[in-house]
Structure 1
Amino acid sequence: MTNNQEREEKRIFESLLEYLKETRGFDFTGYKRSTLKRRVTRRMQSHNIDNFGDYLDYLEVNPEEFEPLFNTILINVTAFFRDTEAWDYLHHQLLPQLLQQKDRQEQIRVWSAGCSSGEEAYSIAMLLVEIMGLEQFRQGVKIYATDVDEEALSQARWARYDSKALENLSEEWRQRYFEQVGNQYVFRSDIRRAVIFGRNDLVQDAPISRLDLLICRNTLMYFNAETQKRILARFNFALKDNGALFLGKAEMLLTNSNLFRPLNLQHRLFTKVPKPKLSDRLLIFAQAGDEESSERLSERVRLREAAFNTSPIAQIIIDVNGYLVLANMSARSMFDIKRQDLGKLFRDLEISYRPLELRSIIDDVYRDRTSIIINDVVREQSDNTQYLDVQITPLKENGNDDQLLGVSVSFHDITSYNQLHSKYKASAQELETANEELQSSNEELETTNEELQSTNEELETTNEELQSTNEELETMNEELESTNEELRTMNDELRLRTDEVNQMNAFLNSILESFQTGVIIVNREFHIIRWNVYSEEFWGLRSDEVQDKSLLSLDIGLPVDQLREPIRNCFHGEGNHQTIRVDAINRRGQSIQCQITFHGLKGIEEQLHGAIILVEEVNQGDG
């Protein structure tokens, strides 16, 4: 297949998935393409269709094909307590720990995602009853079981299973949790009330929240990596901080360690990595006019003034009319601002032009409505040199650019930083020589590192391929189990049919051998189907010698040519039950006279499939 053909096939297959999503609401676009193509191809082969485009046309014309297609894609392979060791760990280790952390009045919430026909949901129900007791279970447990397959959900709600489905259960648990009805076992209705079944698409629908345990076994492996990440993010949201995630043995969570950490990697049990909560609260203060509200407002004003005054960063506030309104203690100390300077025009004060010209910068801030930062401003003092970062920020009412209240000027003392920076430059100069000497060694190390990196990438690629292959093998194993089950059922049915046919043949042989006359049965081509013992006595030929041979071709003492016309009359339904007499010679060479009776051989729907010929020797003197 050429590259163009492969691209076209891929495009048509994606169109098929979009059609399923639009017409039936099943979104398979997140599933692994290799698995999807293999299962869709299986349905195509059942209709002798060899390309996806023709199958899309077939779906549009034959909507009844959707149900078998979805049943093929959504393989429902599950069992009670599948992977027994993992469920034992859940029973004896994890669930007791989870229950110990909860208050007795607090509800236990469990979600079985991808529940199929309900075995896993009922499995966890039985474990919780065993641990908690029946009464406490009824009062404090909710189990949500979801799937996208409505047929599987319907089967799960009925909770009827055959004896093979209960193979993993002891006889004691069968009797305790199931009621036998005929050949089937029905799960106890009083426990079943705690299990709620419903449809949920893990890719599109919202997750069930506040969960203590989330069971999703061998479901994620059908999705591609991107879709798995989205689903796992929803699972992280759904679980409580101490909740547990129970996955299948084919799923590792290796690429999502930021969402989950393992509790028991062998049994695929994980817990969520909690995210820090961001709580941003907005304080809305409404003036009620009462004394208590005024006191609270006055207190908050004093708090703001105290915070402004004690800030380690020197800051001054200039209103929109050019007056110096506020200066905190750091600013007053740094620039020798007196309290009487507050309320004066800013341009008349020394700070407006020293250590830098602020008036023109403030005009720029008003014009552009944005902050300006001036770095490394030098301020010469008598005993030292000070370095400042100056930030001029417009003050807006409620963030509205059209309502400027003034500007804030902040002076960040970076002298220590500059001194450290100078020392750093000196050290950097000293290190430069050493760096040059190390450069050669670094280049050699880099070459070696690149080779190691390349080898590591190849190993990672190989590991990912092996993991993908493992998941596909698990998927194929599920499919083979399903196919195996179907073949076993067909073999049982075929064995029953074979026994019935053998019994019917024995019945017919017994009837034929009971006749005291020769019996010959032929089909519409005059080929012999049956030849009883008395026919062997008359003509000397065994049954196996004449089987499937034409009666008219036999060289025996019976004048077979005289039988042609009566037999044909039987085929056409004419002269049924007619009788003739002919002269013949038996196997001993004796001349005998035979009375021959012809009957039509009827099959299904009363159609004539041959003739029954009864041959009886009569005495020569009989009329």
Structure 2
Amino acid sequence: MSKDFPTAGFVIGIGASAGGLQALESFFGSLPPDPKSAFVVVQHLSPDFRSLMVELLQRRTQLSVCVIENSTALELNSVYMLPPGSTVSLQGQRLLLEERQESAVDYPVNHFFLSLAQQKCDRAIGILLSGTGRDGTEGLKAINRAGGIALVQSQETAQFRAMPGPPVSSGLVDEILSPEELARAVCDIIRYTAAQTSLSAIATPLLPAHKLAQILEILQQQQNSDFSQYKLGTLHRRITHRLLLSKVDTVDQYIEHLKTTPKEVKNLRQDLLIGATRFFRDPNLWSVLQTEVLPGLLERLQPGQPLRIWVSACSTGEEAYSLAIAVDEIIKQTERHHPVKIFATDIDQEALTIASQGSYADTIVRDVDAKRLDHYFIPQGSAYQVKKFIRTQVVFASHDLTKNPGFSQMHLVSCRNLLIYMQPPLQEQVIKLLHFSLAPQGVLILGPSEHLGTVCCHAFLCIDQHWKIFRKRRDVKLPLSRLIQSPAKRAVALPKQPKTMRSPYEGMLASIFKLRFGERPTTCLLVNTSGQILHIFLNTAQLLEFPLGKLNTNILDIISPTLKIPVSTALHRAKRDQQSVFYSDIQLPELDAPQHMNLWVGSAETNKAMSNDSLIVLLEQVTIADSTKPASELDFNPCSDLSQQIRELEFELQQTRKNLQTSIEEMETANEEQQATNEELLAANEELQSTNEELQSVNEELYTVNAENQERIEQLIELSTDIDNLLQSTDIGVVFLDNSLSIRRFTPAATQVFNFRPG
């Protein structure tokens, strides 16, 4: 007997396509008679054929199986089948039918799963079975992000693997099981949740505080994620789901399972990172932003000043791109041209990867109107990609909002539906960090169910109480309290760096140079063949100047500008001729008239062939009276040395230009041919894709009809066998005639009356 459906009851949505009949029969055949929940099956069916799904499934289960009618009320222990040519959505405790539009995107599974996630949240279970196409992927993600359970059929047991495949790769699936195991998992979840509810009524939690602390400590150590200040209800619910799906019986067993299974720790962290988002969520909020908030922000900007926006906890990026589109529309309306820079952050690296690509399933047509789709998106098969001029305005980065502000002087900060998962101390800390990030009179947007709290409310003016839009006061500062530390955190001792041992003879180098050069200023360096300084032996000549900023160790960048040409030429000749180079009489403007520089560049290895690794550069300041020229000494003549080097470089440049011009011409020709070919391929691909989608839809429908007919044929064969056995065993003589009075068949007893011979 059916019962009224409770508000806290589970609703299980099941999506299937080609090959789904066998999976559905196995699933419902494994359920107990009283699962205490309702099941809604959304199967791709052809509107041109009568479906036999109700009759076929009713043979496999004791649950009541019926076709959905408009405004059908849910009942416990019932299975509701979607009729052909319709879509269904959940509203409250009723199922609403709509006629499927021919021009609309044909994703009935997604349509129901999205409404299921919105209406039932953590009491929703979505299951995706065998089928082709991508229907159900976005809906399953929505169920997971809303706190529900997302399950898919394993690839090994699915006849068609296309539908269960994409959700698995997204990382938002709780478990991958066979149909029989899916049925047992659903029953375990419902039974365990009911037990938890009954124990909560007598204040006996299934997850004690000390065991919860152990689990959070494992998350902190292995995933560097601190959830200690999240609300207990969210933590209990999510951890309980993972415990059930891990097939362990107790919390202690689950803790041991976490310690030995890093993948499960990652899955648990992913479950706790709730990322529910979509384009232009809450349309009325966006109307308020475009009429009351954004125009005022643009008016207060100086000419050419960029508009800076921060979207915290951005998940997969839909809200960040929505803001970019909304700002672009207002800039065009007001004709106030300002650069726009939007910073979008999250701690979920997988979600950030999806966001940075800017590609979303075509189910976004429910949230983005046709005009915006045409102007801001590029269709790509079964997906839409945000256009490049919008994507370049958004910078995605990993950032933990609970630890530091991250940004400053922001004109608008959006932090929607994140505080609701945090305990009050952490909420207060996050609001203070957001307040610090805002520029004077900057705007803060929270979720509709969130508030500033008593400590921080005086620091903001309320713009819209319903949509929780606030403006930062000019004259109020909130002290940033010390970060809340989790008990799971432990100080980590850094390993001590071993001290490098210096040779006792290194200290003698200065004395040796003094004996050789006396009091004359000298600079001596060891450089590699690229001019990078490896070691500085002496710099009493003070010829090295290290500029501010990033350290640069190239000798030509830090030596005195007047010496760049002679040093560069000497290094070039030393490498080319494989011998030492000595220049004298190098005049420097900063030296007095009788003084000049001597330059020596040679191999770092003595009495050996020229080394390919390092060179010694020695610069000595001398007076004319001290100078005595050895036979190998050369006066530095920049004209002759540079002219030879320039001729070599010019020849190389000329050859490079010729090769480059030839390559450019070949590339241009090839590019034109590829563009023409690409246009033809794009046109052909669009036609093939459209044809493929039609054939795929027809194939799914025909496969389902064929599966139903196979079931009916098996029933007819069984019935025919039963009749044959009955006729063979009866003692009554019976003769069967057709319309022409020809004998069709007879029983063995009839041969005793008539002279019949079988043949």
Query: TM-score, normalised on structure 2?
Result: 0.39
Specify which structure has the higher proportion of helix.
1
Query: TM-score, normalised on structure 1?
Result: 0.47
Q: Which has the higher contact order (CA 8 A, sep 6+)?
A: 2
